[in-house]
Amino acid sequence: MPAVTRVPGTLDWFVGLSNYRGKLLSVIDLDSLITAKKHASNTTERLIILSDHFLVPCALRVSQLCGLLDVNSIPIKAPSKINHSWFDAEYSIDNKQWYELNLMRMQSDPIFLKAYADE
């Protein structure tokens, strides 16, 4: 994991800022953002760097990365059972659940855009 500098006055899900290839990125704890629960750091966590084409240059911190899937090659698709507007679909592969995250919807959500804590 690259070094992340905490920013005072931000919500718990906003981990901080990191320098990635000369660019300053906001680092978001995805689990904490979605569940509103603070998560402890662990040795398996990873950063997923989002494309420069997004409105907010950021990286998502995840507790574990199992891989990425080409969802176009998977025939089984159902609406997500997770009650969150950022998840579009759910896939079941080898008895594991995979969720499709709609990054465009996430980055335009006021919840995602408000990283500062109210005083």
Q: Is the pLDDT of residue 111 over 80?
A: yes
Q: What's the structural domain count of the chain?
A: 1
User: How far is it, in rounded angstroms, from Cα 41 to Cα 62?
Assistant: 10
Instruction: Decide if 86 contacts 110 (C-beta within 8 A).
Output: no
Residues 45-90: tens digit of each pLDDT = 888 888 766 777 889 888 877 777 777 777 667 666 676 788 888 8
In the predicted structure, residue 115 carries a pLDDT above the cut 70? yes
> Does 64 map to a domain?
yes
Q: CB–CB of 50/84 below 8 Å?
A: no
Q: Could you list the residue range(s) of the whole structural domain that residue 97 is in?
A: 14-113
What pLDDT, on a 0 to 100 scale, did the predictor assign at position 56?
73
What CA–CA distances, in Å, run from 83 to 60, 90, 93?
20, 12, 21
Per-residue pLDDT at 118 exceeds 80: no
Q: Is the pLDDT of residue 1 over 70?
A: no
Interval 2-35: pLDDT, tens: 789 999 999 989 999 999 888 888 999 988 888 7
- pLDDT on residue 76: 62
Flag whether 30 is in a domain: yes
Question: Is 5 inside any structural domain?
Answer: no
The Cα–Cα gap between 68 and 70 comes to 7
Question: Does residue 107 lie in a domain region?
Answer: yes
Amino acid identity, position 70: D
